Structure 1
Amino acid sequence: MTSASLANLCRTFWLSCCIAIVPLGASASWRDVLPDAELVGQGDLRIWGFRIYTARLWSAQQPFDSSKPFALELIYHRDISRQEFVDASLDEIRRTSPGQVSESQLQAWRSEMQSAFVDIREGQRITGVNLLQRSQFYVDGRLHHEVQDGAFTKAFFAIWLDPKTRDPGLRQQLLGSR
């Protein structure tokens, strides 16, 4: 074997290894990103008595500190379309951040959320990981989409954690205050 063919063989092997690694990284669990995260609190969102989802807040910071990375896991008890999820999220961002977000920003975020979310089936889990300047969304434990926008990350997680949240009781449960 010549040194040129040996070099080509090594290059091919190296590229094959790189290609094989990429899908593994893309499907990593949110637990790989926050390995020391512990459950802070959990609660159910109920609308007119119907349980929609169970929310769980995970963080390595005890007590919880929203200025550090954390995860919010939602386990759905009902089917919800991607469009309903996106529309409800945008409505809540508008409500919790009045005057702070432009319509053009919301339209850009709509596109990101349509990529991040799926049509949800009962029993499915979506976990959002707040990495402060970016967020990652996992569907049933697999990385589905990443948003490289700190303003979006802050506004999105405020839906559950801001004092102006629609469900202050759920917020208290998530924060472990109740």
Structure 2
Amino acid sequence: MKQFRYGLMALLLLVCGIANSNEVDALNLTKNMKQVGKTARMTYLFWDIYDIRLYSATGRFDSQQPFVLKLTYLRDLNGHEIAKRSLQEMEKQGFDNKQLGQQWLGQMEQIFPNVSDNYSLFGVRREDGSTLFYDNNKLLGEIKDQNFTKWFFDIWLGEKTSEPAMRAKLIGGKS
């Protein structure tokens, strides 16, 4: 029983650490988490763009709890273009604050690197509602705005996503 309690305490500390620490080794972000749903692939016309996975401590998606979204790119893309496309996807869902959008775009352009085949980018929704971005080696940046976190992750996980089949696959539901 004592070992079980120590194991449970270690797991809770790890989950809290993911939610509250900037010092997390990106390669271990999902180590003790459970994948929610299935891996999905984003394809545009006939190009495979990325594979995407969603992880949480419980294996269930709750937009108000910490989770990790992992995108593994399947082609070379420019970080500034990824940032622009992210803002466009937020706008498609109804985000319409041009001034705030330009602020977020600037932050994303500073954070998002150019990516190549098999490059992984992790988006972490923290307990406080902020977002951390990692690659396989390091923390890339943080955006503390809870509204950004909601709109950004809703690109894939929101009910108004432009890819409802992908959302259903990620969260383990129906489209």
Task: Normalising by structure 2, report the TM-score.
Answer: 0.79
CA distance in 1, matches of 2:43, 2:50: 7
2:63 corresponds in structure 1 to 66
CA distance in 2, matches of 1:33, 1:47: 28
The answer to whether 1:148 aligns with 2:132 is no
The answer to whether 1:173 aligns with 2:169 is yes
The answer to whether 1:136 aligns with 2:149 is no
- Give the partner amino acid of 2:88: D
Q: Shift of residue 177 of structure 1?
A: 2.4
CA distance in 2, matches of 1:161, 1:134: 16
The two structures, once aligned, show a CA RMSD in angstroms of 2.0
1:162 corresponds in structure 2 to 158
Q: Secondary structure of 2:152's match?
A: helix
CA distance in 2, matches of 1:107, 1:143: 23
1:126 corresponds in structure 2 to 121
CA distance in 2, matches of 1:49, 1:33: 31
The answer to whether 1:55 aligns with 2:52 is yes
CA distance in 2, matches of 1:50, 1:33: 28
2:14 corresponds in structure 1 to none
Does the 8 Å CA contact 1:61/1:68 hold for their aligned counterparts?
no
How many pairs are equivalent?
Answer: 152
The answer to whether 1:28 aligns with 2:24 is yes
Does the 8 Å CA contact 2:35/2:59 hold for their aligned counterparts?
no
2:80 corresponds in structure 1 to 83
Q: Secondary structure of 2:154's match?
A: helix
1:39 corresponds in structure 2 to 35
Q: Shift of residue 113 of structure 1?
A: 0.3
Task: Normalising by structure 1, report the TM-score.
Answer: 0.78
- Pair 1:68–1:31, CA change in 2 (3 A): farther
5+ long unaligned stretches in structure 1: 1-24
CA distance in 1, matches of 2:33, 2:124: 11
Q: Shift of residue 49 of structure 1?
A: 2.6
5+ long unaligned stretches in structure 2: 1-20
- Give the partner amino acid of 1:76: Y
Percentage of matched positions with identical amino acids: 31
CA distance in 2, matches of 1:79, 1:44: 16
